[in-house]
Amino acid sequence: MEKKLKFFFDKQVDVLDISIGEPKGAISKEMENDIVMRFDPKTNKIVGFTILNFEKRFEHLNKSETLPITATFAQIDKAIEAEG
């Protein structure tokens, strides 16, 4: 079952939080460079990730970031989505 990504950015503390599906309790593990992965404690599957210092990473226009995430994206037909 595919799940939607949910994004939340807290500008005050410069943190981007991304949940895969609805946010839920998880085990957090800091990977590297202020990137925190969240895992379901029962299945050990990734349920989201957090990027600390998000805006600060892109202060210089020539800088890019790579995240250790693989995702599949597909366009959803609006008529099908509306039916639910």
Per-position pLDDT tens, the chain of length 84 = 567 888 899 999 999 999 988 888 899 999 888 999 999 999 888 899 999 998 888 776 565 666 666 666 555 554 444 444
pLDDT at 4: 82
CB 48 within 8 A of CB 18: yes
Q: Residue 40's domain spans which residues?
A: 5-83
Number of domains in the chain: 1
Structure token digits, residue 74? 């597909």
Is 28 in a helix, a strand, or coil? strand
pLDDT at 58: 75
